[in-house]
Amino acid sequence: MKMILILNKKVMSLEFNRFRDHIKTLGLRLTPQRVLIFEVFLQTEGHFSVEKLFQKASDLDPQIGIATVYRTMKLLTACSLAREFIMPNGSILFEKSSTQEQHDHLVCEVCGKIIEFEHPKIRQYQEEVAQSRGFSIYYHRLTLIGICEDCKK
Amino acid sequence: MKMILILNKKVMSLEFNRFRDHIKTLGLRLTPQRVLIFEVFLQTEGHFSVEKLFQKASDLDPQIGIATVYRTMKLLTACSLAREFIMPNGSILFEKSSTQEQHDHLVCEVCGKIIEFEHPKIRQYQEEVAQSRGFSIYYHRLTLIGICEDCKK
DNA sequence: TTTAAAATGAGAATCATTTTCATTATTATA
DNA sequence: TATAATAATGAAAATGATTCTCATTTTAAA
Ligand SMILES: [Mn+2]
Ligand SMILES: [Mn+2]
Ligand SMILES: [Zn+2]
Ligand SMILES: [Zn+2]
């Protein structure tokens, strides 16, 4: 597929530079497919599946393969533009991580609503626990599963 | 398969009563296979896979089916004798939960070591966060992923 | 006993993800 | 530019953990 890339302001962003640098650093190539998937990723809000991204990317390029979406999400995750979020049922969603600050999630078991939160004290105690065991934390996973306000009614 | 069940002291435990009561409450039956899997489960320490339990159960009864192990672990989890633990790579392990108090995990990304911890303050702040959003927590998942003391050397 | 319901094990099905591989695209070099 | 080396792609197959199906067996109750 021959495709002329028109890099607009949106694409020439911090995020795009990070993505491009990551790819170049690994000696990989910035292909039209990767740029397309990157753009679709950036334009998607909230928490979404690979399948969702694949659908949106397919609308723009019906030739795109889902394997390429998986491969690109690995790259985006590796350079911290994307973060994985595991739902209580085990399904894997992605979200953008560059612009947002780190956060954890409340998930309603009834309606599936996802609420984000950030609690510095929890972070701090996690660090204390780790230090007390001689452990250094690379990352953590915290999800609170329950029922939301609306669903209680 | 006809099998005479010899219920020793170990089996006539609080755990066994809980398991039997749960089964009876649901109108289900206490079969030899379920008792066998229950015993294997009770005799297994640490964090272990369904496959591991299946292997141990197969040694005692080569006829046992892995589907029955999965089904029985569902029952043991439902009555809170077993807890699921999701490793950073997504694989699912079980552990006994009746005798131990609730705890969370540190996982070493290098050697796979699992360290358990309990931090009341973290619990407390989780509750506060939930309350502030009108949310009621049913359960939570917290795992800290990093590198352990030994692997730092 | 007889009967109805539940449980079992084997194997098929599922389903998200990964892998394979032949083909195509990109990049570096001459 | 032509050539060569390497990387990337998409289609399809493979994977692997879990669930489902179903014929058969077991259990508990009447
Ligand atoms: Mn989020
Ligand atoms: Mn544990
Ligand atoms: Zn809800
Ligand atoms: Zn270690």
Question: pLDDT by residue (tens digit) across B94-107?
Answer: 999 966 688 999 99
| Measured distance CA(A1)–CA(A63) in Å, rounded | 9
* pLDDT reading at B83 higher than 70: yes
Question: pLDDT by residue (tens digit) across B105-143?
Answer: 999 999 999 999 999 999 999 999 999 999 999 999 999
CA B66 to chain centroid: 17
CB A118 within 8 A of CB B125: no
pLDDT of residue B65: 98
CB contact under 8 A, A119 and B106: no
Instruction: Using CA coordinates, name the residue in chain B closest to A130.
Output: B106
CATH number of A102-153: 3.30.1490.190
Question: What fold, for A1-98?
Answer: Arc Repressor Mutant, subunit A (1.10.10)
A137: left (phi > 0), else alpha (psi -120 to 50), else beta?
A: beta
CB B29 within 8 A of CB B2: no
Question: pLDDT by residue (tens digit) across A21-33?
Answer: 999 999 999 999 9
pLDDT of residue A5: 44
C-alpha dihedral sign at A98, A101, A107, A112: negative
pLDDT of residue B78: 96
Gyration radius (Cα) of chain A, Å: 18
Question: pLDDT by residue (tens digit) across A88-127?
Answer: 999 999 999 966 688 999 999 999 999 999 999 999 999 9
Interface of A with B in 38-77 (CB under 8 A): none
- Top residue of A104, A122, A124 to mutate, by most chain B CBs within 10 Å, is A122
How far in angstroms lies nucleotide D18's C1' from the CA of residue A73?
25
β-pair type (A92-96, A82-86): antiparallel
| Measured distance CA(A58)–CA(B73) in Å, rounded | 41
| Measured distance CA(A43)–CA(B114) in Å, rounded | 38
Parts of chain A belonging to CATH 3.30.1490.190: 102-153
Q: Running DSSP on this structure, what letter comes out for residue B44?
A: -
* Full-model pTM: 0.89
How far in angstroms lies nucleotide D26's C1' from the CA of residue A120?
57
pLDDT of residue B40: 98
Q: How far is the first Cα of chain A from the last one, in angstroms, to the nearest whole number?
A: 54
The answer for residues whose C-beta is within 8 angstroms of residue A60's C-beta and 6 or more apart is A36, A40
Residue with tokens 């506060």: B128
Parts of chain B belonging to CATH 1.10.10.10: 1-98
